[in-house]
Amino acid sequence: MRLFEDTYRHKGMRKQLTEIVRKKGISDERVLEAIANVPRHFFMDSAFDKIAYEDRAFPIAEEQTISQPYTVAYQTQLLDIKPYEKILEIGTGSAYQASVLAEMEAQVFTIERQRKLFDINKDFSYLKKYPNLKFFFGDGFEGLPTYGPFDKIIVTAAAPFIPPKLVEQLKPGGKMVIPVGEGNVQRMLRLTKQKDGLITEEVFDNFSFVPMMEGRN
């Protein structure tokens, strides 16, 4: 079992990372506070605890990645999280993004399609800190119909199209932040479900995510 240590050195590096993310354009203080609070080095192999505080994505198990801190902050800012909101995340991966959302006191439901990644998080002691964070093994294209509808949905893998079942599971007034596109680059979109059910779409910057895949594995 791994022992986790969050030293003053780690906290200092995290403060610097937070300032880097701020300079790149993130202005929501609650998002920056969550980035400053969540010990990102716990989510990576202990050999990488310095790299954990560089603003870049990094490989985790099963050829997946922990998203770049700036990307996590960017998607979280677009979601405009309020305490107690119900959030669905597609693509748990390392559980770093999910922890940032839980740190902001949302009720977080996160789905991962790879059994091995799901199992790693079951044994990850730090995550017990968040009773408001629930893990599911399943296919994100299906969402979580029995737990929905959700105030917000965040997709953290490159979606080839907007999954219709996720749109269905948004509350009226709800928002979904999702990188859409096939190939190396995706467009970050924010969809808002109007009270009458109509969907409006806003287009943001380009990002590069690992692909969202169908089925479980």
Closer by beta carbon to ligand SAH, 13 or else 159: 159
Closer by beta carbon to ligand SAH, 63 or else 194: 63
Q: Which amino acid is present at 32?
A: L
Tell me whether residue 67 is one of the annotated catalytic residues: yes
CB 215 → ligand SAH: shortest distance, Å? 7
CB 35 → ligand SAH: shortest distance, Å? 12
Q: Which of 154, 156, 157, 216 is nearest to 191 (CA)?
A: 154
Closer by beta carbon to ligand SAH, 172 or else 190: 190
Q: Specify the DSSP class assigned to residue 133.
A: E
Which of these is catalytic: 67, 99, 125, 208? 67
CB 210 → ligand SAH: shortest distance, Å? 5
Closer by beta carbon to ligand SAH, 173 or else 185: 185
The burial class, CB within 10 Å (0-12 / 13-18 / 19+), for 30 is middle
**Using CB under 6 A as the criterion, which residues of the chain lie in contact with ligand SAH when the complex forms?**
64-67, 90-91, 93-94, 96-97, 111-114, 117, 139-141, 156-157, 210, 212-213
CB 67 → ligand SAH: shortest distance, Å? 5
Q: Which amino acid is present at 88?
A: L
> Per residue in 178-211, is it b (16+ CB within 10 Å) or e — as a string?
bbbbeeeebebbbbebeeeeeeeeeeeeebebee
CB 63 → ligand SAH: shortest distance, Å? 9
In the chain, the N- to C-terminal Cα span, in Å, equals 25
Contacts of 109 (CB under 8 A, 6+ apart): 86, 87, 88, 89, 134, 136, 144, 147, 150
Closer by beta carbon to ligand SAH, 39 or else 93: 93
Active-site residues, by number, are 67
